[in-house]
Amino acid sequence: MLGIQLGYLNVDILGDSKTVISKCQSENRDRSEIGAIISDIQSLKGFFQKIRFSFIPRTGNMEAHRIARETLKKGEEFYLEGETLRALWEEHESIRLDHSEQRERR
């Protein structure tokens, strides 16, 4: 909803739950316990020209995880956008590439 309210046309959603990310990427109706939430997310996809759901391991998502914990403790809302989000994405890509290179060396 925030992306819609801010008028974004292209949105990247990063999450550290492979299950949730794959359900959001799917066009199929989800019948799990979180099916209603997934349905809500899927119904909002049409508001964007491009929406991308990407898995990011918690190890590559430490700053976002820290911010989430702190804001929950304080009862605040906090959103990552623009350069902050881009920095997290670049950090994740760097870690992913490092792991890929290490696997190739083995």
Q: Give every CB contact of residue 91 below 8 A, 6+ residues apart in sequence.
A: 60, 63
Q: What is the pLDDT of residue 80?
A: 62
Provide the pLDDT confidence category of residue 103 given band limits of 50, 70 and 90: low
> Nearest to residue 35, comparing CAs of 20, 13, 52, 53?
20
Q: Which helix (H) or strand (E) holds 14?
A: strand 10-15
Q: What is the pLDDT of residue 87?
A: 61
For the segment 46-92, what is each residue's pLDDT rounded down to a tens digit? 999 999 998 888 777 777 777 777 777 877 766 666 655 556 666 66
Tokens of 11: 């949105």
Q: Which CATH class is domain 1-55?
A: alpha beta
